[in-house]
Amino acid sequence: MVYLDYAATCPVYPEIIKNVPEISEKYFFNPSSLYRPSVITKKFFDSVRNSLGIFLSCKSENILFMSSATEACNTVIKGLDYTRRTKIVTWPLEHSAIINTLQKCTSAGMSASYAINNKGYIEYKDIKDLIDHNTKLLVLMHVNNETGSINHIEEIAEKVKKFDNQILIFSDIVQSHAKIHINLENIDFACISGHKVGGLKGCGVLYVKNKDILRPLIDGGGQEFGIRSGTENTLGAYALLEGSTITRAKFRNHWDHLLNLNNMIKDHCKTMRFHINSPENRVPYIFNFSTMKLPSEVMINALSSKNIYVSSASACSGKKKSRVLTSMGFKSVIVDTAIRISLHPDTEEDDIKYFLTELDFAVNHLSF
């Protein structure tokens, strides 16, 4: 099997699978109960939170565990008070968890302004005319999940705070967490997904600088500092932390390997005259291109028959056309034939060679 869809989900690391029985058996107790095994479970859960805080260079109380990054996005956008400031500034290339939530919320009194350009990434100059003293929130992802483009969110956040330090900054760091560094100093909210870093599905994190400004979406027993009620997912939290630690080490130690794989695909695309959709300002582990000859779904099925697994857009898009590529202004033929490759340090050169061989075969034999 050649798996090239790590941006959709990452296989659970063997080191985590190995420890699942022990963690599940030893810490299955409800952390909110008062008897000794529950107290021990609570201490373990708190130690995971503290370690993740150290990992992100923040305080442990800034870490809120949730079911997913999607829940985190909803919690921020729906949980703020828009009485005095009603404007949100973002761009069309955000994840569906942001875009669809904003579309629901704008009918409830808030307004959304979208920065538009065809570069595939945002700079401060692209948003400076949109932000004003009515702006409540700037939403800007760190790394785009379809093209791998990088928004230099730290620099943008610093400049926005200098303009008006009351503007809140929210960054989706799902595709960058544990892979490239981010300084959260000027960022008020950030979301993380455990299964993107070799952890378990069903556990995410919301980084919150100031919990007092958020209203909970889920009411109940008051877990997660009263922001997200529900019995804590101890195993999921452990797997997210462990996956983050393993991912950081792998990406640090094999960055040049990822660059080499990326260049192999890029050079091949140039030779075959495929259209490269990812901008130069990108991470090496996500690459988007279009064959211009074969519809994405046909190509994905052809490769799948050879046990090669790629995607055409965000996994959340299903069979819909890529909103990201469409928003970047690409023609239909580019959007309709797009392929996204997402790599991991465990990806081998032979995997890419095999993929490129079968890609060419499909283009040459299935194209009309």
Q: What share of the chain is helix, strand, coil (3-state, %, to 5)?
A: 45, 15, 40
Q: Are residues 30 and 163 in the same domain?
A: yes
**Which residues are part of the catalytic machinery?**
316
How many distinct helices (H) and strands (E) make up the chain?
Answer: 12, 12
SS3 179: coil
SS3 182: coil
Q: Are residues 174 and 33 in the same domain?
A: yes
Query: pLDDT, tens digit, for every residue of 143-202?
Result: 999 999 999 999 999 999 999 999 999 999 999 999 999 999 999 999 999 999 999 999
Quick one: angle between helices 14-26 and 234-253, nearest 10? 160
Residue 318 has pLDDT above 60, yes or no: no
Query: What residues make up the domain containing 263?
Result: 2-9+253-366
Q: Are residues 143 and 278 in the same domain?
A: no
**CATH number (domain holding residue 223):** 3.40.640.10
Query: pLDDT, tens digit, for every residue of 56-107?
Result: 999 999 999 999 999 999 999 999 999 999 999 999 999 999 999 998 887 5
Residue 321 — very low, low, confident or very high, per pLDDT cuts 50/70/90? confident
Place of tokens 């075959």: 272
Share of the chain above pLDDT 70, in %: 97
The count of structural domains within the chain is: 2
Q: Are residues 217 and 292 in the same domain?
A: no
CA–CA separation, 59 and 208 (whole Å): 10
